[in-house]
């Protein structure tokens, strides 16, 4: 199926003003991400659906959402738009137990955890982001998507369009065929690229985790060598809409959570203990705290980028 040049449209009226920035920002890998773009209140997203590739454009005013989509997957993304915006997120059992969480919920109670229903789409960049700085990972993802992905459908070839130059990420098959030296040239060493390729070869099975519980999805994801608690959580936050999948193992998140809740910068064990009363909603608390408290004060120098990869050395030995 092909969509008209003007695309397909859908209008949603929700009982709350959707928070598009955190919904789409969760999937965006840095400001140069060729698969996502934001211009004011306009959000653009490319994705690969079971029906084909799609470009999605979304704007919201109050509780009214206007969307347009192009490509063979246009109908699919519009049908799944309510899920992406968090309409299936359930706040049952969520009770703020700290003053700052209560304040965040009072101000941002309309926040919902969305789900993309695209497991490998979330897993590929998560593999690239393991144990490196965001800047390094975003650069690598951008380079690899532009080289091995494909131009997105719709007006992405029109220089006057807000979507000009956008790409769809590679298929699992394309990721699996990326030569190791191309990963290295983008700054992704073998440990991370091996995990990405191994999971790409089982992408069909990974998509089936959407049919079960979040706990079963976690076990299935972590059955792959190289996929630990952090990577699993990053995937479930995005693909499964798991409101409990807090970013355990992240360099910053546990410290930020403990600082927001206690005024002290503590480790993941302390963060896990503090979040235990919120089980079922621990990722929700993570996001709400970030909205009101931001990150902890930084006193140490920022982490430096590596200098040993082919990308960093520009091929020099």
Cα–chain center distance at 229:
16
Distance CA 258, CA 262 (A): 6
The H or E element containing residue 29 is none
Distance CA 114, CA 22 (A): 10
Q: Which of 19, 311, 268 is nearest to 138 (CA)?
A: 311
The band of 294, judged by pLDDT with boundaries at 50, 70 and 90, is: confident
Q: pLDDT of 33-65, one tens digit each?
A: 999 999 999 999 999 999 999 999 999 999 999
Q: pLDDT of 139-173, one tens digit each?
A: 999 999 999 999 999 999 999 999 999 999 999 99
- The residue whose two tokens read 């693909």 is 239
Going by their DSSP bridges, the two strands 64-70 and 150-151 should be labelled as unpaired
Distance CA 109, CA 156 (A): 35
Please report the pLDDT score of residue 219 as a whole number: 98
Over residues 261-284, the mean pLDDT reads: 97
Q: Does pLDDT of 315 surpass 50?
A: no
Instruction: DSSP letter for 165, please.
Output: T
Distance CA 180, CA 14 (A): 46
The band of 248, judged by pLDDT with boundaries at 50, 70 and 90, is: very high
The band of 280, judged by pLDDT with boundaries at 50, 70 and 90, is: very high
The H or E element containing residue 217 is helix 214-222
Do the beta carbons of residue 90 and residue 244 sit within 8 Å? no
Q: Does pLDDT of 179 surpass 70?
A: yes
């Amino acid at each position: 199926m092909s969509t008209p040049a003007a695309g397909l449209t859908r209008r949603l009226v929700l009982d709350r003003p959707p928070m598009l920035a955190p919904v789409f920002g969760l999937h965006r890998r840095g400001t140069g991400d060729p698969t996502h773009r934001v211009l004011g209140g306009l959000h653009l997203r490319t994705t690969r659906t079971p029906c084909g590739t799609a470009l999605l454009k979304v704007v919201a005013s109050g509780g009214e959402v206007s969307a347009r989509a192009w490509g063979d997957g246009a109908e699919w993304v519009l049908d799944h738009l309510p899920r992406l915006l968090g309409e299936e997120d359930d706040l049952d059992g969520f009770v703020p137990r700290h003053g700052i969480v209560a304040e965040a919920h009072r101000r941002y109670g309309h926040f919902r955890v969305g789900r993309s229903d695209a497991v490998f789409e979330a897993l590929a960049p998560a593999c690239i982001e393991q144990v490196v700085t965001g800047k390094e990972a975003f650069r690598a993802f951008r380079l690899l998507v532009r080289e091995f992905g494909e131009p997105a459908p719709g007006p992405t070839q029109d220089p006057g369009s807000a979507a000009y130059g956008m790409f769809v990420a590679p298929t699992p098959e394309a990721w699996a065929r990326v030569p190791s030296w191309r990963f290295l040239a983008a700054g992704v060493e073998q440990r991370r690229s091996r995990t990405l390729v191994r999971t790409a070869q089982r992408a069909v099975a990974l998509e089936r985790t959407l049919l079960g519980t979040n706990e079963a999805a976690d076990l299935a994801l972590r059955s792959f060598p190289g996929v630990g608690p952090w990577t699993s959580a990053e995937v479930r936050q995005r693909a499964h809409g798991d409101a409990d999948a807090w970013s355990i193992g992240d360099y910053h998140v546990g410290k930020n959570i403990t600082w927001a809740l206690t005024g002290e910068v503590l480790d993941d064990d302390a963060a896990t203990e503090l979040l235990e009363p919120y089980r079922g909603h621990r990722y929700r608390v993570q996001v709400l705290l970030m909205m009101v408290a931001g990150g902890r004060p930084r006193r140490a120098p920022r982490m430096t980028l590596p200098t040993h990869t082919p990308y960093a050395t520009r091929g020099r030995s």
